[in-house]
Amino acid sequence: MRTQVAIIGSGPAGLLLGQLLQLAGIDTVIIERKSRDYVLARIRAGVLEQGTVALLDKVGASARLHAEGLVHDGFELLFGGRRHRVALDRLTGGQHVTVYGQTEMTRDLMDLRASQGGKTVFEADDVALHDFDGGKPYVTYAEGGVTRRLDCDFIAGCDGYHGVSRASVPERALRLFERVYPFGWLGILADVPPVSDELIYAGEERGFALCSMRSMTRSRYYVQCGLDEKVEDWSDERFWDELRRRLDPASAEALVTGPSIEKSIAPLRSFVAEPMRFGRLFLAGDAAHIVPPTGAKGLNLAAGDVHYLSEALIEHYVERSQAGIDAYSGKALARVWKAERFSWWLTSLMHHFPDKSGFEQRMQRAELDYLVSSEHAMAALAENYVGLAY
């Protein structure tokens, strides 16, 4: 089998890249090691920047998003028992974010690809990338116990942090940057109405909490927890009690509780692999970088990578130019590091760090007090939250 671009990974990054290339008449095959049902069962974030929505509009995968997604013109910071609204629309000249689950975005892109006859191989075992430093790259994988070979012009690694793409690059060719945070997020999904119409980011002495939602009848809540804690030690009752303690009195009183339908603990880390191109192999999304979920940049960063990569590949095929391909890694990384800075800053601002000195705790509170008292500081927060321009 042969294609122009082999895409490794059927998450939102790989699917979106496939649709952008298909619009330009570029043939792709997506190779996914898990089943379709497994991919669609993954619970992920759901705050989309306008740039991400615009890409979904471009490929024709946004009808359900516009019908069901929740447009948010602001969010709230909670500390010292008080909430402070960040008015995104006013501070950024009318920009906003849209709450729409990553699972739903993935489903929309999968359905669109299938309706257009796009080729996707699910449950591909033993995926291996070959000769991407040469002129004739190819991918091998096992399908139903039979080894297959996919020849291609380029390989796009969109298969996440634990995928085969980055692992295929020789260690000497990579430079890795990482910060592991001394806590995680315990999150639950529940079919209860959200406590507020907008997201609440709470940074209190007991630790961080986030009140989010997937719809007006399904809520997603998180509390900061230790890395040594286990999900089975957190009953629903214990979770709801702890969340209330981290909210202001009005929010705690308004909180509607119910049985969780999903519960998990995610460690927090910042991670970047440089560069993002190795000959004819490109990394995009979590294969190249991870951000803490504070600030909702992970999925949106992947969309930014895909924007740059699709433009580079289209330029190569349509204009016979190498310029976009040569510039891809530098362009993408410039935006990645700005998002890493924002996610690190917001994480540091809103979380309780167990080893912080009294001085550092006072500095954290002073930073919060300054932030909500300064229009310019709030505008900088809002500008980063809605997403920097591509």
Q: Which residues have a catalytic role annotated?
A: 72, 201, 293, 297, 385
Take residue 292 and report the two structure tokens written for it.
């803490």
Q: Is 49 within 8 Å of 300 (Cβ atoms)? A: yes
Q: What is the DSSP string of 124-181?
A: -EEEEEE-TTSSS-EEEEEETTEEEEEE-SEEEE-S-TTSHHHHTS-GGG-EEEEEEE
Residues 6+ apart with CB under 8 A from 334: none
Q: Is 110 within 8 Å of 36 (Cβ atoms)? A: yes
Q: What distance in Å separates the CA atoms of residue 6 and residue 124, rounded to the nearest whole number?
A: 13
Per-residue H/E/C for 34-75: CCHHHHHHCCCCCEECHHHHHHHHHHCCCHHHHHHCEEECEE
Q: Is 252 within 8 Å of 206 (Cβ atoms)? A: no
Residue with tokens 């809520």: 219
Instruction: Pick the closest to residue 81 from 245, 196, 222 (CA basis).
Output: 245
**What backbone phi and psi angles, to 5 degrees, belong to 206?**
-75, -15
Q: Is 219 within 8 Å of 195 (Cβ atoms)? A: yes
Alpha-carbon distance values, 147 to 112, 126, 142, 323 (Å): 28, 9, 4, 35
121 three-class SS: strand
